[in-house]
Amino acid sequence: MKSEDAGQQMEARWQAVLRKDGAQDGAFVYGVLTTGVYCRPGCASRTPRRENVRFFNSPAEAEAAGLRACKRCKPDACQGRAEAPDRMWALCRYLEEHADEAVTLEQLGERAGLSPHHLQRTFKRVVGVSPKQYAEHLRMERFKLSVKRNSKDVTGAIFDAGYSSLSRLYEKVDTRLGMTPMEYRGGGAGVEISYAAEMTPVGLMMVGATDRGLCFVQFGDDADTLLGELRKQYPKAEVHAMAKPAPAAFGEWMAGLNEYLAGQRPDLRLPVHVRATAFQLMVWNHLQRIPAGEVQSYQEVAQAIGQPRASRAVARACASNNVALAIPCHRVIRGTGEMGGYRWGVGRKRALLHLERSAGQ
C-alpha cells in the first residue's frame, strides 16, 4: 500500500475510534501502547491519546505485537467478523435453495457458526433485512410467479410457495407486495389510489398513495401525462383525485416531500406501498441507507449488497423505481463520476443532490 493510502486508512480508522463506530468492529482493532490492551473500534472505554494508538488488521496481529484483548469489548470474539458478508450471502443462497421450507434461526446460526441472536444482527447488517424477511420475500416471489403461470389456481400457488394456508399468506402480505393475492391476480383490481399534483422547485410532481403508503412519486411536464402514467402502472386500480381536505397521513407525506424539496429536510423516511423482487428490495433498502447528499456508483451498490457482478441489474432496479425521493435512486451515479441516467432528467438529478447537500450544511 502506498504511504499516502496508508495514511488515509489510518486517519479513517482513527475517526472510527473517535466516534466509537461499532459498524467497523471486525474490520480492524486498535492497540493502546500505554495500557498494553487492544480494543474494537466501537469499544465504550475512554478514548486514548492518538500518539499512543496503533492499528492492526486482526486480533492475531495485535497479540503478536504483545498486546492483550480488552476485557470490556472482547475484540478477540469478533475474529471472524471480516468474513461475515461472505457467510451471510452464502446463507441467502441457502434460503433460496430451501424457499419452500421453514428454516429456523437456529439452523442458520449453526451453518454460520453464530448464535441465533448474533446471526440475526449480522444478517440484517449485511443484507439489509432479517433472515425471516428475506425468506418471506422469496416465498412471495414464488407465489407471484406461480399465479402468473396459472391464474386460476391461487390456492395451489399458495402451497407451492411454501405457505401452510391462505390465512398464513395474508398475514405475510406487507407493503412490498402492496396487494392481496386475489388483487394481484386481478392486476390490482379493488386497490384505491388517490393522487395529487403540485409544482415543486424541480418541476411538476404527482404523488399517488394507497392507505398504506406512497405507490407513485414522479415528475413531468403536465398533469395529464403523469396521470396517464399512473393509470398505466395500475390499470385496474380505482384511481381518483385526492379528496379535500386530504387525510392526515397523506398530508404528512406531502409535507415531508415539500420540506425535502425546499431544502429544509436532508432525508426522507416515508412509507412506500410498492411491489418488488427480492433483488430490487435489497437495492432499494441500500439506497435508503446512503447518506443524503452522497453518491455511490452502480458497482459500489452491487458490491455493498454482495452481488459484485450485478452492476447492470442494479441500474435496472434504479430505473424501475416508481417512487422518486422516497427511494433515492438519484444517489447512484456512474463509476466515472458522471451523473448517468435518471428517468426524470439528469438536470433534476443534479438539482436533488444539490438540495440534499445544501440542507445538510
Catalytic machinery residues: 39, 329
Query: Residue 205: phi, psi to the nearest 5?
Result: -125, 130
Residues 335/297, Cβ–Cβ less than 8 Å? yes
SS (H, E, C) 24-79: HECCEEEEECCCCEEECCCCCCCCCCHHHEEEECCHHHHHHCCCEECCCCCHHHHC
* Biggest distance spanned by C-alpha atoms of the chain: 73
What is the per-residue DSSP string for 231-288?
A: HHHSTTSEEEEPPSSPPHHHHHHHHHHHHHHTTS-S-----B-----HHHHHHHHHHH
**What is the grid cell recorded at 181?**
393475492
Q: What is the C-alpha separation between 246 and 138, in angstroms, rounded?
A: 36
Alpha-carbon distances, residue 70 vs 13, 109, 166 (angstroms): 18, 26, 52
Give the distance, in angstroms, between the CA of residue 85 and the centroid of all CA atoms in the same chain. 15
> Closest by alpha carbon to 356, among 330, 337, 333?
330
